Structure 1
Amino acid sequence: MDDRPLPLLFGAHLARDRRRSAHTVRAYEATAARLMTFLSGHWGAAVDRGALGKVTAADLRAYLAQRRTDGIGNASAARELSAVRAFLNFAGGEDAELPRLRGPRVKKGVPRPVSPDEAVALAEEVAEDAREPWIGARDLAVLLLLYGAGLRIGEAMALTGADLPMGETLRVTGKRDKTRIVPLLPQVRAAVEEYVRLCPYGPAPAVPLFRGARGGPLAPALIRRAVRAARVRLGLPERTTPHALRHSFATHLLGRGADLRALQELLGHASLSSTQIYTAVDAAHLLDVYRNAHPRA
């Protein structure tokens, strides 16, 4: 009999039976361990497999409330709840009755950039829902290129094996065959490298870097479809699209002091007027912060 702790058994199940990525296994194991630690203090007793079958919606609400105090946002809370449900289902078996608890909702309103928390949660949720580990790694790499480097989805699809190995910068060919150099964060490079390592189709200089399940070029529609499904699960608004990740890249840089001309170069805009739209978006975001926080607003 395997006497490893339940979170580790859960992780082994995800890796062996569900073929989840190493990233997903680590994240879900961590959630399972957090839940058991919380319940032990919440109930004042040790938690075993049998006790997990008695978890109520009120217990889960209390757990999520504690996680909120850790600073997680709506998207992360929704992913946490998804992991908790998977763990409780594992502990109780396929026929287990799970407590019903609706995930957090995002208020609808004027379109705003996707927050950093939402962008990362979205990319990870898409990757975790993939049917094969290499496909999950592929989708994660694509979405991080959009959010972490400001690429258009068509620009990401146009990358080939000739762009490997990726260094600290990447040459991108955009609209009207205009080229630009964009910096690559270590996390983005690591995601691409992991995809290349897992992909069953070896890279070649004249072949698209991102491949479909049968080895052909990856269709952008597949990424858009995966994002649509993930944003529903996370409770994110309809404005959360692949292209919104590029908008968020621009807005977050501008909000942290990036020069407008430099941002124009990073985005590959032909004219500065195309880039200036982000000044209005960022001002609108600041106005929201003011209205919500200022005592005289």
Structure 2
Amino acid sequence: MTTPVLTAATIGRYLSYLQERERAAATLQKYAHDLNVLREWLGERALTKQTLLLWKEELISKRAPATVNTMLAALNGYLSFMGWLQLRLRPLRIQRTLFQDERRELDRQEYVRLVVAAQRKGSQRLSLILQTICATGIRVSELRFITAEAVATGRAEISNKGKRRIVFLPDKLRHLLQPYLHRQGITAGPVFLSRTGKALDRSHIWREMKALCQSAEVSPEKVFPHNLRHLFARTYYTMEKDLSRLADILGHSSVDTTRIYTAESGIVHARQVGRLGLVVT
């Protein structure tokens, strides 16, 4: 049996394997980061079950359970690829929370303030990005599928994680995007481009959003692209109460994932329970 190792070369081989299987670019980036964190932590230590258990204990003491599990997923995938199944570690068992943390839940009023702040800052592109993600429920990584052609037809074909789905663009959004395309001279391809003509990446959008926090008076903990997708999901479910249809719109394989998106905060739940009027005395 080959002596288990974790090197830049073997990590590269594993990432190439994942790329050939059309794993998302964001997944590759995350796995590369997590495996390199482990590689630096190992130093001269051997890649053994005992050593990996020590690493897991350190992760548990310093990171959130969900983060620990994503890092273990990166490790276990690598170990399976290398054929070292006996070294894999068990993920943490996490009980699904019934409520969202209100400190991280973006509400509609805060979303509107972010859009207005972007407009006041003179960043029409950012204002439209916020509205496009929130009005369609797409992932930030799917923004590149919002093209001039999609604006013209009112429907974008999204290809992600080996699945395809159609996302419809509301007429109001199209009416905002059409003059923007005209001013930018974009007649085909992605609507939102960098100064060099490339599609915007997640980190660029994240930084621009964070820069709005102070002027919009919104907590930085609430301001990240994926929270716009959560706001879309909660708003849709509140109106339609159709979890299965929402799962299709969001591109989820399981409605269990969609339930996480539609969870309200504990404050909202407490208010709902209070309205039942079942306290008699």
TM-score (norm 1): 0.53
Q: CA offsets per residue over residues 127-169 of structure 1, 9 Å max, x none?
A: 3314xxxxx33222221111111011111123333324142xx
Residues 255 and 111 of structure 1, relative CA distance in 2, 3 Å threshold:
farther
Distance in 2 separating the partners of 1:229 and 1:182 = 29
The 5-angstrom pairing of residues 107-186 of structure 1 reads: 110-111=102-103, 113-130=105-122, 136-167=123-154, 170-186=155-171
TM-fit CA distance, 1:242 = 1.4
Residues 222 and 124 of structure 1, relative CA distance in 2, 3 Å threshold:
farther
Distance in 2 separating the partners of 1:259 and 1:282 = 16
- Conserved in 2, the CA contact under 8 Å of 1:146 and 1:152? yes
Segments of structure 2 that go 5 or more residues without pairing to the other structure are: 1-100
Q: CA offsets per residue over residues 51-101 of structure 1, 9 Å max, x none?
A: xxxxxxxxxxxxxxxxxxxxxxxxxxxxxxxxxxxxxxxxxxxxxxxxxxx
Residues 117 and 172 of structure 1, relative CA distance in 2, 3 Å threshold:
farther
TM-fit CA distance, 1:288 = 4.1
TM-fit CA distance, 1:208 = 2.7
TM-fit CA distance, 1:227 = 0.9
Q: Which residue of 2 aligns with 1:74?
A: none
Distance in 2 separating the partners of 1:249 and 1:144 = 10
Q: Which residue of 1 aligns with 2:35?
A: none
TM-fit CA distance, 1:112 = 5.1
Q: Which residue of 1 aligns with 2:253?
A: 270
- Conserved in 2, the CA contact under 8 Å of 1:212 and 1:218? yes
The 5-angstrom pairing of residues 45-60 of structure 1 reads: none
TM-fit CA distance, 1:276 = 1.7
Aligned sequence identity (%): 25
The 5-angstrom pairing of residues 71-110 of structure 1 reads: 110=102
- Conserved in 2, the CA contact under 8 Å of 1:173 and 1:180? yes
Q: Which residue of 2 aligns with 1:203?
A: 187
- Conserved in 2, the CA contact under 8 Å of 1:126 and 1:226? no
Count residues with an aligned counterpart.
Answer: 178
Find the partner of 1:213 among 168, 189, 195. Answer: 195
TM-fit CA distance, 1:264 = 0.4
- Conserved in 1, the CA contact under 8 Å of 2:118 and 2:124? no
- Conserved in 2, the CA contact under 8 Å of 1:146 and 1:153? yes
TM-score (norm 2): 0.55
- Conserved in 1, the CA contact under 8 Å of 2:115 and 2:131? yes
